[in-house]
Amino acid sequence: MKAARISNHWSLLMLCLLGIHIGWGAARIPGRVYGKRFKQIREYLQHGGPAYHLDNRHRQGAAQVQFILDQTEENSLLLWRGEAHGCMEFVPPLIAPRLLVSEDTCPPNATHMFGRPLAQGKLADGSSGVLVMVGFGDHLALVLR
């Protein structure tokens, strides 16, 4: 009888500790989860999509994406080559409604493909022509075809 009473006390104590643990965790959710997410949203709105995703310690390439957004037609196709992983994974949603197309699928000297113009622009060195986004994993580069 005495052993059963001790077991009931331990069970009650463990249930109380479990309840305190769950309550403490639940009380921390708003500050930890929602606060962190609101901070990320604020940074995204402050810096813009390209800078938020592509200008950090792991990736570089926001300037190239911003150049495409500022200098090319919205219905154009942007050619790409290089590493498909890393920075290049962020490019398609950031340049939308422009489409990203592998350079291998485009005929040489073409200016249009699938009824859309290829993205063209003038680089900082003064050369101009069809643009190609090159992915290097951790950074991006814009070159002419």
Instruction: State residue 97's pLDDT score.
Output: 94
Instruction: Mark whether 76 and 138 lie in a shared domain.
Output: yes
| In a shared domain, residues 137 and 101 | yes
pTM of the predicted structure, to 2 decimals: 0.73
Q: From first to last of its 145 residues, what are the pLDDT tens digits of the chain?
A: 455 566 788 888 899 999 999 988 888 777 778 888 888 899 999 998 899 999 888 899 999 999 999 999 999 999 999 999 999 999 999 999 999 999 999 998 899 999 999 999 999 898 999 999 999 989 999 999 8
Please count the structural domains in the chain. Answer: 2
- Is the domain of 137 the same as that of 75? yes
Asked if residue 74 and residue 21 are part of one domain, the reply reads no
Do 80 and 130 sit in the same domain of this protein?
Answer: yes
Same domain, 84 and 122: yes
Q: Whole-angstrom Cα distance, residue 91 to residue 100?
A: 8
Q: What does the pLDDT read at residue 3?
A: 56
Contact, 142 vs 134, CB < 8 A? yes
The answer to whether 81 and 132 have CB atoms below 8 angstroms apart is: yes
Residue-level pLDDT at 9: 81
Residues 125 and 109 in one domain: yes
Looking at the structure, tell me whether residues 66 and 35 fall in a common domain: no
On the CB side of 114, CA atoms within 13 Å amount to: 14
pLDDT at 2: 57
One domain for residues 64 and 37: no
- Structural domain range at position 27: 2-47
Are both 40 and 72 inside the same structural domain?
A: no
